[in-house]
Amino acid sequence: MKIDELPALANTIRRDIIEMLVQAKSGHAAGPLGMAEVFTALYFHVLRHDPQRPNWPDRDRLVLSNGHICPVLYAAMARAGYFPISELKTYRQLGSRLQGHPSRLDFPGLENSSGPLGQGYSQAVGMALALKMEGRTAQVYCVSSDGEHDEGQVWEAAMAAAKYRLHNLAVIIDRNNIQIDGHTEDVMPLESLRAKYEAFNWYVIEIDGHNIREIIEACEMAKAVFEKPVAIIARTIPGKGVDFMQWRPEWHGKAPTPAEAQKALRELRSLGGRVKRDED
């Protein structure tokens, strides 16, 4: 798929997210909507992966540490061909493989189970270290939230990554400035996040998390950095694309009502750009 076509796909993934949430009557809205471009860029341009061979040893690894934003992960994986798009409708339903936090054992293509914040970050460090020791060229990408950085485990993992010079590790931080209890700078100030990572001996790149070309270029730059892990600080708008959700912490962890979902879908359709969907 051409880069110029990816914004339309990101908008389609946003529509998938809204439909998943309203069907489930639960889940997280703001974070998944805000990360649509990042996951679109990863699955359709950046990652070296093969949905037909999900356990290919030389694949790049994508670790989702902040597992609560999994609706965007599921939608991107379905669109990439890991499982039928129609299965998205089973999100958070009894017996579904698409749990409220991803379970690695449920279907191939998931690299980690997630739930407790901070653990995925440590798992990504372990994967990168193992790949480096084995001499493999695969890259590890870890998606982490800014609120997750309240966890001490994140900083322990960051120190370990720098110690072992994990140049094959890139952490993409969703810097949307909200978490479940409010704005991050009220709950536990994180700025200057760049200076903190640089003090931990990481290479830092700051980008617009909704600019797909910037996302791709940052990931390419990360692969060119040697002897240091890379932190990509992606500044995003929580609830992106849905006016009444944007920047509002209350949408961190709730699903829209049917009426709200219809309003959101109308707004997303009005943005222009789309790809063919199953029901179209």
Q: Are 261 and 249 in contact (CB under 8 A)?
A: no
Asked if residue 59 is part of any domain, the answer here is yes
| Parent domain of 222 | 3-270
Q: Is residue 73 part of a domain?
A: yes
In a domain, 280, yes or no: no
Instruction: Please tell me the predicted confidence (pLDDT) of residue 278.
Output: 47
Closest by Cα among 237, 238, 177, 244 to 208: 237
Q: Give domain status of residue 145, yes or no.
A: yes
Q: Are strands 178-179 and 182-183 parallel, antiparallel or unpaired?
A: antiparallel
Say if 276 falls within a structural domain.
Answer: no
Q: Is residue 275 part of a domain?
A: no
pLDDT at 272: 62
| Burial category of 32 from C-beta neighbours within 10 Å (exposed 0-12, middle 13-18, buried 19 and up) | buried
Q: Is residue 277 domain-resident? A: no
Q: What is the CATH number of the domain that holds 189?
A: 3.40.50.970
Contact 46, 38 (CB under 8 A): no
Q: What is the mean pLDDT of each run of 10 residues along the chain (280 residues)?
A: 94 97 94 97 98 96 96 97 96 93 90 91 98 97 97 97 98 95 93 97 98 98 96 97 93 93 94 52
pLDDT at position 271, please? Answer: 83
Within a 10 A sphere around the Cβ of 197, how many other Cβ atoms? 22
- Structural domain includes residue 16: yes
Rounded (10°) angle between helices 6-24 and 70-80: 120
Residues in the chain, total? 280
* Residue labelled with tokens 């536990």: 188
State how many domains the chain has: 1
With tokens 């944007």, the residue in question is: 246
